[in-house]
Structure 1
Amino acid sequence: MFFTRHQGLTYGCFSNLSACPGVFHAFFTRLDHRSQTVPAETDFSTEDSTRQNRTRAARCTGADDLVFLSQIHGTTVSVISSPADFHEAVATPPKADAIISGLAGAGLSVRTADCQAVLLHDPVRRAAAAIHSGWRGSVADIIGQCIQTMKQRFGTDPADLVAGIGPSLGPCCAEFVHYETEIPEKFWKYKDDQHRFDFWQISTDQLRAAGVRESQIELSHICTRCNPRLFFSFRGEKATRRMAAVIGLKKEENRTQYE
């Protein structure tokens, strides 16, 4: 992952997704450089803060607008199939933890602060997906559910998918004291002797199990709790502020403008 700045916002991009000419994406940090004198942060946690930042975030990526989800830590997948679906979802965020679309210009967005944002692109069938994967979503395999929906609705071959796993709580900090009652035993192999889980590896393995090629998976290897200057962290700050991760298909006229 590398970082860049546009519209006063600092955001990360994956090398593998950046090499795909038909898709835009960004993982926004908490940094806001609109003013050198007034402290500001890029927060997407509330309706008001999202409204203030969504236009700038859309301009960064070239999206017409951004669809956010009402995230419920489940396995529901929302599909945007038409412009009408898109406009409805912008106005009323779907209750889901993953969103897929083949509609050019639609920015698919998830909010995170320690949870993983997993971004997917199918360059063959022309589809993109954004997944919010907290620990509950991980153990329920929201990643596998999203890919299965892409297969059913878009004819996606998982071997064609390009995937990025964004900054999130790393194996250095993902301690679960009550893991025996929270996390199924089949995931305990991802735990160290201090009850810290490697959810990065869990997501990588779930992508591979769903048919994504390991060579097409990029992991940021950045822990949000360990990097408070760049990222909000619920574990680190006990705050409700959120970053946004965005992905979508470029319109033909934007394929070179925003690369």
Structure 2
Amino acid sequence: MTLDIEALLKQAPELIVTYGIKIVLAIVIYIVGKWLAGLLSKLLEKGMNARNIDPTICNFTKNITYYVLVALVFITVLGQIGVQTASFVAVVGAAGLAVGLALQGSLANFAAGVLLVLFRPLKIGDYVEAGGTSGTVKEISIFCTIMTTPDNKTVIVPNSGIMGGNIINYSTQEKRRVDFIVGVAYSANLDTVRKELQAIASEDERILQDHDVTIGVAALADSSVNFAFRVWVNSANYWGVFFETNEKIKKRFDAQGIQIPFPQMDIHIAKE
């Protein structure tokens, strides 16, 4: 026992020098590595902000990048002081795989959220149909998109549901076409109908006169002659023009004696 202590004391200076240098290098690697991780994550955030990427995604990506880099620095430090990192990395990898499988739905939503922010098929304030619902986009978060319906209900849609289907965005175009189907009686004078519809389009300042106004017979239906009446407006005026034009059509047709028919059925009773 005495010999072992004496041998250890003789080797102490060599051990102190050897492991002291390793420990000092490990500390230096940790400090410098952590500083570089912070620097790189901040540069990444700055680059994403320059591209006007959503702040939520910027902050999340910055944090993930920082912690991944710090984890790599930590593994390097363990290797520097002599710890076998191969088995440690294997354990971390297995744990990461298990977590990834358990949270694959959330990861899919996160990836879809990043794509929504990068490709901008919709943005806050747009009225869209997506993910099986329609409404005004209020927030695009990491895992879901929050929309408000016209009757003021809040709908939370997973981002993967939006990116996995069709997206109809009603707010991206400055101009939209308003379509009407106007049914008149078979006895109505078609030229008069066309004249009245043209007058409605010409008198409304919100209807864009430099765009074609379509007025034509679309169908000879069971109870009516159906006119296709199509005009162009600025997107902000769409619903105002839609509702008021329907009212104008009814009033003008009434004034001109143009009948708007409704489905009728004649029943003939046979006497035996």
Shorter-chain-normalised TM-score: which range? Answer: under 0.3
> Whose strand proportion is higher, 1 or 2?
1
Larger Rg: 2
TM-score norm. by structure 2 comes to 0.19
TM-score norm. by structure 1 comes to 0.19
Greater relative contact order: 1 or 2 (C-alpha under 8 angstroms, separation 6 or more)? 1
> Whose helix proportion is higher, 1 or 2?
2
